[in-house]
Amino acid sequence: MTHRRRLDKLECSLTPTQAFLLWLEEAHGHGSLDAYVAWLKTQHDGAYPLIKLPALLKAAVQAATKGWDRKQVEPEIERQQRDVAFLFMLHQEGNTHVLQDEPRLRLAAISMEHQLLRLVDRVQVHHQMNTAWYEVCRQLPYPLDTETAEAVQASTGHHVETWDLFEESGTLGSWVEAAFVREGHTALPFWASRLRPGSTPPRWVTLTIDEVRACFKDDTSFAQFMAGEDYRYGLAEVDDATYEARWEAADAALRALVAEGAVEAGWVVELPAGPLEFLQHAPLVEGEWVDAHIIELAEYGALLQKAGFSFRYADDNSPFAAERIGRDVDGRFVDADEPTLTRHRNGARTRLAAFPGRTREIDGRRCLHLGDYDRWGGAP
């Protein structure tokens, strides 16, 4: 037999990794380390892993190298026994290290969990505060030039809620929940889901498990809620399948109203070049007309960007605030001067005055036909 064929035969026999995995499977079969050790105490010495594993490897190598020179066999036996001993000790040391560090790691995990939950609370509160403040700012007077103020008022009057925004807002879900409550179903307390295992409500919340349990008709539905398997939409007597079916039916009914013409469909055109974010999503009146002043702002922004200017958030709470306009100079943002802004604004107004397409006055506002404007080569 050639040396290559001898190596191939040896590789097909039991390897140190295979022997170690066989022992590991045997040890795990006892269910716990204590049970395995108790079993070992009833066995002969040959069952102990540091005796058994080297013996298995020795027998495997001898079987695979029958007829070999003893000087070739013994180094191979020693190598494989050393490898399996290394795997065993690696396993033991790794488990010992984990067990010794378990209390510290557990405390670290608990600490991280509480920090994460506090962060989630802050994010939720921050979002709610931002939403409330945004609504307040919409009602507060804000200094705009007359033309822009009128464009904002007209845009608000023709406001269109897109399907995507409608779904993201959760409005339909609120309607569905309210309908179930009106039918006599029980709404769960706001922080009920935070009483599930692994979660913690904010410190100021006094809600108890017993109070949440009292909302459910039986232990089974309560257990499903606590496990996060069902009743995830805030209603104690309405399972997920029932809620989702109602939500889908309501969504389909709303879309049907539009498809049947009972409710007029609305359209929005995106004009991201404009420096006033509120007017970057302009409503299309009757599906084809857009306010000329909004178009002018988009032309103005496009000319500024073409000249190398960029926009920055103005750090203003009002949704009607215009973005800062300027350039990066030596690592800092320098606002454009007033003459520069006026020149580009006049350029946009002059260009738009030459618009050859259809125009129409709607509610006292000059509007351009979007299709004609697009074919004319309007701002992006």
pLDDT digits (tens, 9 = 90+) for 158-197: 888 888 878 887 889 889 999 999 999 999 988 888 888 8
According to DSSP, the residues that pair with 159 across neighbouring strands are: none
Pairing of strands 310-312, 324-329: antiparallel
Contact assessment for residue 287 and residue 296, using Cβ atoms and an 8 Å cutoff? no
pLDDT in tens, 338-371: 999 999 999 999 999 999 999 999 999 999 999 9
pLDDT at residue number 100: 83
Residue 286 contacts by C-beta under 8 Å, 6 or more apart in sequence? Answer: 362
Burial class (CB in 10 A: 0-12, 13-18, 19+), 290: buried
pLDDT at residue number 263: 86
Mean pLDDT, rounded, for 69-73? 82
Residue 293: which of 306, 279, 278 has the closest Cα? 279
pLDDT in tens, 288-345: 999 999 999 999 999 999 999 999 988 777 888 889 999 999 989 999 999 999 999 9
Residue 212 to residues 104, 163, 201, 208, 303: CA-CA distances in angstroms? 33, 34, 13, 7, 59
How is residue 227 written in tokens? Answer: 């496990």
Residue 5 parent element (H or E): helix 3-11
Pairing of strands 281-284, 267-270: antiparallel
Q: What is the dihedral of CA 90, 91, 93, 97, to 10 degrees?
A: 130
pTM score of the predicted model? 0.53
Collapsing DSSP states into helix, strand and coil, what is residue 107?
A: helix
Distance between CA atoms of residues 178 and 175, nearest Å:
5
